[in-house]
């Protein structure tokens, strides 16, 4: 599909989500508030089907350990296919090579992450360059390594049909060694867009007649568009994060502290098998600061609970936010109304996000809805970010962008309202664009979006 410059027919949205405009009558607003209150009372009444507390004899994390037990890391053959795809693009562009240092891109193309090789002033570089062999374009791999680290570098197990290592001594120029390793040096050298400046400068100085430049969209889109195997890992990681939040909710009580809940969510995600876990836990007005205030507040009956959490499953990230209440909570009706307005904004954005749509249009439809509800100054951040080998990566769902959504893209969808001193509400689910061009929540397998303030 072609690029869509407007938020996908607002008439279509209005038709699908027939909701009163900001100019609603006072009578309608009163009716809506009463309906919300009635809903809350009804949900309080349904304690027999809601979250249950766990006895000491029961496992509070039941089911978490098994949920992603069958998940598998990315297969080496998939990495080889990535290298081949990159080599073809390099060849078509007349580029000499693609160069990355340890990080998400080197991990994607060569299994070298910052966890496996920490960055220092001594560069270790992954270089991929195309060669033509018997009418086929083949990816050649060279790892540029400090000489005294060569043995350790070879333990990285970089996939590739033809992987070589070029070492540089302490008194040598590593960039001259890198360029000497190339089979040809004619066209531009593409570099990872996150590469440190001193390495880019070093490469450019060593090759004054060659343009060293950030890799173009044809290259960056390779990682932006996730494979089925990548989506499987993202899906499981995000599902188990939601399950972990629900399991924590079932053990919470009025009077618990933010720090206690943070320990609980970390334990839940650890049982689930996620690494490099993190969690933001905020009660009441603390959640009005999107990244938290850190006061270790005690949970009151009138407080919403915000948990933003995630971790890694075979290097792929989860990122989920739920704002919710307990059965014993007594949330002010005006705060509950905000919750449903944020939920509607998330739903509208999800309906608009599909192949061919401009990323800024998705942000705009959620923002227009919340602006119209009177929250213009309180939705203070972008709608979403890409997710994959990085927790935040391109493309982004924000105003001012000009990217086009494509199949395989994965994003967060996280509208929020933050009224300092009063309340903060954010709902976040990540989604991907399927082969039909439609958006699908990565959390769909465990229910997708939060159902209500009581059922996250």
pLDDT digits (tens, 9 = 90+) for 209-219: 999 999 999 99
Full domain range(s) for residue 30 = 10-49+225-446
Question: 411 and 280, same structural domain?
Answer: yes
**327 near 314, Cβ under 8 Å?**
no
Q: How many other β-carbons are positioned within 10 Å of the β-carbon of residue 43?
A: 18
Give pLDDT tens digits for 100-129. Answer: 999 999 999 999 999 999 999 999 999 999
Domain end marker among 205, 224, 243:
224
Tokens in use for 109?
Answer: 């193309």
Among 176, 204, 224, the domain boundary falls at 224
CATH of the domain at 35: 3.90.230.10
Domain identity same for 278 and 304: yes
Please give the DSSP secondary-structure letter assigned to residue 176: H
d(CA 82, CA 453): 42
Number of structural domains (the chain) is: 2
Structure confidence at residue 15 (pLDDT): 37
Neighbour-count burial of 194, counting CB atoms closer than 10 A to its CB (0-12 exposed, 13-18 middle, 19+ buried)? middle
pTM: 0.87
- Residues in contact with 419: Cβ distance below 8 Å, sequence separation at least 6, in sequence order: 288, 378
The answer to whether residue 282 is domain-embedded is: yes
Q: Is residue 338, in this structure, part of any structural domain at all?
A: yes
How many CA atoms lie less than 13 Å away from 9 in the CB half-sphere?
5
Reported confidence tier of residue 295, pLDDT bands at 50, 70, 90? confident
Question: Is 204 in the same domain as 335?
Answer: no
pLDDT tens-digit readout, 226-245: 999 999 999 999 999 999 99
- Considering the domain architecture, whether residues 215 and 230 belong to the same structural domain is answered as no
H-only helix segments in 124-227: 150-154, 174-180, 197-206, 217-224
In this structure, the strands spanning 163-168 and 136-146 are parallel
Is 247 found in the same domain as 206? Answer: no
Q: What is the mean pLDDT of residues 367-390?
A: 98
Among 403, 401, 412, which residue's Cα sits nearest to residue 439?
412
381 contacts: CB under 8 Å, gap ≥ 6: 290, 416
The verdict on 295 and 312 lying in the same domain is: yes
Averaged pLDDT of the chain: 89
Cα 141 to Cα 363: distance, rounded to the nearest angstrom = 40
* Residue at which a domain ends, from 224, 253, 273: 224
Q: What SS3 class is residue 140?
A: strand
Cβ-proximal residues to 177 (8 Å cutoff; 6+ apart), any chain = 144, 166, 167, 168
In a domain, 455, yes or no: no
Please state the φ and ψ torsions of residue 58, each to the nearest 5 degrees. Answer: -100, 150
- Written as six digits, the tokens of 253 are 């009580």
- Is 456 within the bounds of a domain? no
156 and 16 in a common domain: no
Identify whether 339 is part of a domain. Answer: yes
Query: In this structure, are 192 and 249 located in the same domain?
Result: no
> Rounded mean pLDDT of 171-196?
93
- Could you tell me if residue 176 is inside a domain? yes
Query: Does residue 312 surpass a pLDDT of 50?
Result: yes
- Residue 337 is assigned to a structural domain of this protein: yes
- Residue 50 — very low, low, confident or very high, per pLDDT cuts 50/70/90? very low
In contact, 415 and 366? CB cutoff 8 Å: yes
Give the Å distances, CA to CA, from 143 to 70, 157, 193.
Answer: 32, 11, 18
What is the predicted pLDDT for the residue at 184?
82
Q: Are residues 95 and 131 in the same domain?
A: yes
Please check whether residue 63 is in contact with residue 240, taking contact to mean a CB–CB distance below 8 angstroms.
Answer: no
**Do 299 and 363 belong to one domain?**
yes
Q: Is residue 120 located within the same domain as residue 163?
A: yes
Residue 71 in domain: no
Is there a single domain that holds both residue 246 and residue 391? Answer: yes
CATH number reported for the structural domain that contains residue 157 in this entry: 3.40.350.10
């Amino acid at each position: 599909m072609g690029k869509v410059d407007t938020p996908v027919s607002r008439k279509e949205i209005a038709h699908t989500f027939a909701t009163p405009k900001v100019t609603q009558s006072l009578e309608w607003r009163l009716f809506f508030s009463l309906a919300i209150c009635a809903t809350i009372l009804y949900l309080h009444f349904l304690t027999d089907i809601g979250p249950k507390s766990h006895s000491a004899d029961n496992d509070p994390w039941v089911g978490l350990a098994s949920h992603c037990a069958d998940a598998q890391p990315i297969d080496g053959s998939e990495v080889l296919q990535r290298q081949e795809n990159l080599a073809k693009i390099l060849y078509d562009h007349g580029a000499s090579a693609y160069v990355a240092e340890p990080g998400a891109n080197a991990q994607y193309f060569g299994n070298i992450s910052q966890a496996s090789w920490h960055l220092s002033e001594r560069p270790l570089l992954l270089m991929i360059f195309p060669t033509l062999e018997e009418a086929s374009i083949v990816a050649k791999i060279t790892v540029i390594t400090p000489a005294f680290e060569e043995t350790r570098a070879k333990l990285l197990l970089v996939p590739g049909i033809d992987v070589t290592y070029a070492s540089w001594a302490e008194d040598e120029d590593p960039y001259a060694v890198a360029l000497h390793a190339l089979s040809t040096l004619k066209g531009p050298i593409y570099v990872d867009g996150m590469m440190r400046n001193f390495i880019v400068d070093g490469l450019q100085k060593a090759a004054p007649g060659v343009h060293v430049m950030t890799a173009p969209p044809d290259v960056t889109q390779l990682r932006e568009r996730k494979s089925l195997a990548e989506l499987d890992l993202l899906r499981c990681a995000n599902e188990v994060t939601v399950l972990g939040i629900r399991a924590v909710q079932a053990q919470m009580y009025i009077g618990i502290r933010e720090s206690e809940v943070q320990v609980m969510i970390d334990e839940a995600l650890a049982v689930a098998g996620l690494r490099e876990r993190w969690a933001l836990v905020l009660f009441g007005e603390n959640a009005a600061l999107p990244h938290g205030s850190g006061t270790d507040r005690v949970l009151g009956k009138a407080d919403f609970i915000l948990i933003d959490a995630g971790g890694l499953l075979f290097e792929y990230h989860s990122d989920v936010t739920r704002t919710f209440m307990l059965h014993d909570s007594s949330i002010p009706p005006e705060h509950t109304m905000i919750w449903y307005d944020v939920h509607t904004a998330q739903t509208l954005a999800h309906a608009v996000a599909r192949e061919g749509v401009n990323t800024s249009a998705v942000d705009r439809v959620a923002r227009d809805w919340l602006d119209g509800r009177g929250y213009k100054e309180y939705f203070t951040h972008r709608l979403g970010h890409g997710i994959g080998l990085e927790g935040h990566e391109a493309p982004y769902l924000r105003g001012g962008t000009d990217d086009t959504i494509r199949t395989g893209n994965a994003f967060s969808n996280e509208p929020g309202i933050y009224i300092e001193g009063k309340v903060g509400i954010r709902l976040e689910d990540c989604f991907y664009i399927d082969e039909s061009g439609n958006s699908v929540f990565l959390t769909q397998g465990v229910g997708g979006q939060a159902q209500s303030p009581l059922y996250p």
